[in-house]
Chains A and B, each alone.
Chain A
């Protein structure tokens, strides 16, 4: 039971898919200009991830080795199409703002990554927990980045004004750089730095060492 619980909680911070595995970065940059898009995208990805992991895990004993990846992608793609249609039908404005990024969940390394690394070799229930944990881990980072970008980019959260803008008689000048993709890179990088400072075991061992001038002269 404790181990099953770990499947759920580990990916939140300790093995977070974005900050530790650096997976799913593309959508993390693209949809985090506001909290509402980040929230919708997180929900969509989590649902797809949980369902695909459950399905792939359920058929894992009979997966033909030769077409393993194709089968996994077929399952993921079908779920993504359904999700995309669902958003278009019931959250039309939101689906327009997310444009192609819901469809691009198919190519999100996170989904296929969990299918390959976990669901393919584990029973259904742990796979579902693992998928849910990873989906929530992804969501935490997206919401953090989205909150920072929306708050400092336009002074609002979920559309409500938090920092009074200069143009409305307040004091806050929006930082437009926050709405551009590079700012998401900086924020994700910053989060990686903070998490790895607090948990040094996450830091990778350097693959090479930079020699000083004296050392190079000797060798």
Chain B
């Protein structure tokens, strides 16, 4: 037995009875190993294509939202590309970051990099995102030189997935012009209905904060009353709570709160 012969070893392994414990364990290991190799190879080769599709989808949603906002269509036709501005905001100070190129900045990658992101304290992390990038893009839409809309990228955990959305505010930085989800993995037919135009149409005209500056906007169970409440989707209470928490986080101190305060105080002119 001094000579180690893998082929003979393999034959001996195969010759073992099928209820042998050793054979069962080795077999289980081999099957899971092969299966994981197949799945990993597929994931590595196919994910770039999937990511491309997602990026295209995000772009389309952004354009769709710009088109569907509560601006009159004749004004929209005048919207030229110059009127659509992307700026990068330093979230902790609430000011524009001048030395970052908006066209190449990737907020998602930055959120994964400990050097470019902030690890959130658990009790402040209402959106459930754990790491928040230090910088975030905002999209500024102007008409006749005057500020028309400010669009913020937001994300947060819903019932079972990360929700990605764009929140558009009117020039007062307190009235919602639209909320559009472009990526989510909630239960189809229930939580996933947050992407339906009918539900997103409930948002325009709602108000974020009251006179004291407290963020009051929320998704409620059943039908919402007044300017701070949006009807929940029946059966999707936790998705609705996730949406509320996400907005509270991104409008709060760890999100765009400092930036919004500066706009409202007139320190930043857009």
Indicate which residue in A66, A75, A99 contacts B31 across the interface (CB closer than 8 Å).
A75
Within residues 11 to 47 of chain B, which ones have a CB less than 8 A from any CB in chain A? 14, 18-20, 23-24, 27-28, 31-32, 35-36, 38-39, 42-43, 46-47
Task: Assess the A67–B28 pair: CB atoms within 8 A.
Answer: yes
Within 8 Å CB of B19, what residues of A? 64-66
Cβ of A62 within 8 Å of any chain B Cβ, yes or no, is yes
Indicate which residue in B28, B39, B49, B56 contacts A90 across the interface (CB closer than 8 Å).
B49
What are 22 residue pairs bridging A and B, where the CB atoms are less than 8 Å apart in the complex?
Answer: A62-B14, A62-B27, A63-B27, A64-B28, A65-B19, A67-B27, A70-B28, A71-B27, A74-B31, A75-B31, A78-B35, A78-B36, A79-B38, A81-B39, A81-B42, A82-B42, A85-B47, A85-B50, A86-B42, A86-B46, A92-B56, A99-B192
User: 1/0 per residue A129-172: CB within 8 Å of B?
Assistant: 00000000000000000000000000000000000000000000
| Closest chain B residue, CB of each to CB of A96 | B57
| Closest chain A residue, CB of each to CB of B27 | A64
Within 8 Å CB of B57, what residues of A? 92
Known: A64-B24, A66-B24, A82-B42. 18 other contacts (CB 8 A): A63-B27, A64-B19, A64-B27, A65-B18, A65-B19, A67-B27, A70-B28, A71-B27, A77-B35, A79-B38, A81-B42, A82-B39, A85-B43, A85-B46, A85-B50, A88-B53, A89-B49, A92-B57
A204 to B188 CA separation, bound complex (whole angstroms):
37
Cβ of A100 within 8 Å of any chain B Cβ, yes or no, is yes
Prevailing SS type, chain B contact patch:
helix
Within residues 99 to 155 of chain B, which ones have a CB less than 8 A from any CB in chain A? none
| Closest chain B residue, CB of each to CB of A81 | B39
Task: Assess the B188–A78 pair: CB atoms within 8 A.
Answer: no
Which of the four size classes fits the interface of chain B?
Answer: 20 to 34
Task: Assess the B31–A71 pair: CB atoms within 8 A.
Answer: yes
Within residues 47 to 74 of chain A, which ones have a CB less than 8 A from any CB in chain B? 62-67, 70-71, 74
Within 8 Å CB of B39, what residues of A? 78, 81-82
Within 8 Å CB of A78, what residues of B? 35-36, 38-39
User: How many residues belonging to A are interface residues under a CB distance threshold of 8 Å?
Assistant: 23
A74 to B39 CA separation, bound complex (whole angstroms):
11
A99 to B24 CA separation, bound complex (whole angstroms):
36
Within 8 Å CB of A81, what residues of B? 39, 42-43
A92 to B46 CA separation, bound complex (whole angstroms):
12
A88 to B56 CA separation, bound complex (whole angstroms):
13
Task: Assess the A67–B49 pair: CB atoms within 8 A.
Answer: no
Task: Assess the B50–A88 pair: CB atoms within 8 A.
Answer: yes
Given known contacts A64-B19, A64-B27, A67-B24, A89 and B188 CB-to-CB distance under 8 angstroms: no
Task: Assess the A89–B38 pair: CB atoms within 8 A.
Answer: no
A215 to B146 CA separation, bound complex (whole angstroms):
89
Within 8 Å CB of A79, what residues of B? 38
The distance from the CB of B58 to the nearest CB of chain A, in whole angstroms, is 12
Task: Assess the B188–A100 pair: CB atoms within 8 A.
Answer: yes
Within residues 188 to 235 of chain B, which ones have a CB less than 8 A from any CB in chain A? 188, 192
A82 to B36 CA separation, bound complex (whole angstroms):
11
A88 to B47 CA separation, bound complex (whole angstroms):
8
Within 8 Å CB of A63, what residues of B? 18, 27
The distance from the CB of A177 to the nearest CB of chain B, in whole angstroms, is 17
A89 to B18 CA separation, bound complex (whole angstroms):
39
A86 to B39 CA separation, bound complex (whole angstroms):
11
The distance from the CB of B56 to the nearest CB of chain A, in whole angstroms, is 8
